[in-house]
Amino acid sequence: MELGLSRFIKKVKFAMAIKTVKINPALDERNRARLESKNYNRAYTDVPNSALPETLRTGLGAVYNALTGEELDPSGSTFTVRADNSGVFKRLYSPTVFSTETGSLVVRWGDRDIPLDVESGKISTATAPKGTKFSFKDEPIGKYTEACLNVSVSNNGTLYTLPFPVRSISMEDKLSADLLDLLLDENPAAIAEKVQVASDLSKRGEGGGSGERMFGHFIKVAQLPIGEYTVTTYRMKENDYGPQYYLQVQVREPFVASVRTQVDGEWVDQEVEICDYAIVKPNNALKKVMAAEPIITPETPATLRVLEHFEFNGFDCAKASLKCQTFAEDPESFALDF
């Protein structure tokens, strides 16, 4: 009896000695204010880990090491700032749980996807050491409460907990921690079906007309709701059918569109929420404008206007216009500065 009581007392003293730190993925007010005070010259700016305060970097490093078995790279990034066209801070992106086209789950941490091992009643990673705790909880992230995967790891006498928001596939069918727990116990494979598919990492860093990164789902111009959109950059690729253009379009109001994705080796149409940015494939009329070599950058954005939706030969179409501020100089072309 005395031996059992002694062990209990030791456990209580050990627990009392451990410092607990919960990392806020939206950052504390002071550090967020510093990021908000900065002017940005790109739509998306990665915050280097070397710029993070030491205490935050230590906690993130402990969690990252538990998830991957590797050290947090000072030259890599954990947070990404999205700015508007005037360079003003608009949103902060932190590591988030997404699904994949093959129906698995990953933590998108900067430019890396960390696979999650999901089985009945248990979620983990291949390298997570014994004692690492994974649990679903509803957490306040910025202004909103989000379903999160909380990861807790002990390091040098401190217990660090980092919530990873789980990105719902639909705003109308938002996930909750209770639902995720239920699915984890009864149908783990169904979790990925309710989580948004991560964008293609291979596209990260590909340049357009200005060398800017491009983000978002690939959609056709006819899938954009009627309205006005800002185009911040573009990319052109040659194939057997000639030049193909892709426009980086800023989305002010979220909407749902059918996106072609690969599931279990087959291409299917999947309804996803389009928000913030989309990569838009122009119709034939807009291709003619693009062939004139417009200069489209965050400093000289173009304006895309979707004026009308209609159907032609069974296909959804749109009447649209693209107004560009300037074009590449060409002695064989009109000068438009009149």
20 forms beta bridges with: 159
Question: Among 171-180, 212-221, 279-288, 328-337, which stretch is predicted with the lowest mean pLDDT?
Answer: 328-337
What is residue 286's predicted lDDT score, i.e. its pLDDT? 93
**What pLDDT, on the 0 to 100 scale, is given for residue 208?**
41
Place of tokens 């911040």: 232
Strands (E) across the chain are located at 19-22, 44-48, 77-83, 89-93, 96-99, 105-109, 112-119, 122-124, 133-141, 144-155, 158-165, 217-220, 227-239, 242-263, 266-281, 302-312, 315-323
Q: For residue 5, is pLDDT > 60? A: no
**By the 8 A CB rule, do 196 and 132 touch?**
no
Which range, of 4-8, 191-195, 264-268, 272-276, averages the lowest pLDDT? 4-8
> What are the sequence ranges of the domains in the chain?
2-193, 203-323
Tens digit of pLDDT for each residue in 137-191?
A: 999 988 789 999 999 999 999 999 999 999 988 767 789 999 999 999 999 999 9
**Burial degree of 185 (CB within 10 A; 0-12, 13-18, 19+):** exposed
pLDDT bracket for residue 12 (50, 70, 90):
very low
User: Which residue has better confidence, 286 or 241?
Assistant: 286
Strand partners, 265: none
Largest CA distance in the chain: 96
CA–CA dist 37, 34 (Å, integer): 5
Structure confidence by residue, pLDDT tens digits, 307-338: 999 999 888 999 999 999 888 766 665 655 65
Kindly list the distances between the CA atom of residue 153 and the CA atoms of 71, 138, 326, in Å, as whole numbers in the listed order. 14, 19, 53
Structure tokens at 57: 């970097």
The H helix count followed by the E strand count for the chain is 6, 17
- Residue 260 clears pLDDT 50, i.e. is over it: yes
**pLDDT of 90:** 85
Report the predicted TM-score, pTM, of the whole model to 2 decimal places: 0.61
Distance of CA 97 to CAs 151, 285, 317, Å?
12, 38, 34
Q: Residue 223: left if φ>0, alpha if ψ -120 to 50, beta else—which one?
A: alpha
More confident residue, 292 or 119: 119
- Are 146 and 137 in contact by the 8 Å Cβ rule? The answer is no
Q: 3-state class of 177 per DSSP?
A: helix
At residue 51, what are phi and psi to the nearest 5 degrees? -90, -10
* Of the candidate ranges 67-81, 117-131, 247-261, the one whose mean pLDDT is the lowest: 247-261
Mean pLDDT of the chain: 85
**Of 50, 145, 144, 61, which Cα lies nearest the Cα of 95?**
61
